[in-house]
Amino acid sequence: MSDEKVNKSESEWKETLTPEQYRILREKGTERAFTGKYWNHKEDGSYACAGCGETLFSSGTKFDSHCGWPSFWDAADPGKIEMNEDTSFGMHRIEVVCQRCGGHLGHVFDDGPAPTGQRYCINSASIQFQKQEG
């Protein structure tokens, strides 16, 4: 995958993403808990950004946090994501964004398991699973 940033117009994003993906990735939406296709997904592989295809998370760091969204205790490559302060809805959270295309993925919290103590709470619509071969 290229390190080159993905820059598309909003109309181009609307052409390439489903309405749900657009709402989440481009408008910082969220899916309802326990409704996304990956919240209880158990296969081995990786999870890439649905906007640009950048590999962001691995099944090896996925865990069941009982929150209703896919949860990971670390990113596949921390350099592939950005963290932004989010004070929307009267809360203080840390937003997780794809570094390559700027797509909103979810939020990270400090209540995850060892070794990082992090819980990357990610919307299923913002990622695509890639099955591990072999």
- For the chain, the domains span 10-131
DSSP conformation letters of 46-84: EEEETTT--EEEEGGGEE--SSSS-EESS-SSGGGEEEE
Catalytic residue among 49, 98, 101, 121: 121
Altogether, the residues listed in the chain come to a count of: 134
Q: Is 49 a catalytic residue?
A: no
- In whole angstroms, what is the distance from residue 116 CA to residue 118 CA? 5
Q: d(Cα 22, Cα 18) in Å, to the nearest integer?
A: 6
Could you tell me which residues come within 8 angstroms of residue 131 by beta carbon, excluding any fewer than 6 positions away? 43, 44, 45
Region 10-131: CATH code: 2.170.150.20
The pair phi, psi for residue 81, each rounded to 5°, is -125, 155
**Digits of tens for pLDDT over the chain (134 positions)?**
567 899 999 999 999 999 999 999 999 999 999 999 999 999 999 999 999 999 999 999 999 999 999 999 999 999 999 999 988 878 889 999 999 999 999 999 999 999 999 999 999 999 999 998 76
Which residues have a Cβ under 8 Å from the Cβ of 94 and sit 6 or more positions away? 83, 84, 85, 86, 107, 108, 109
Residue 91's pLDDT is 83
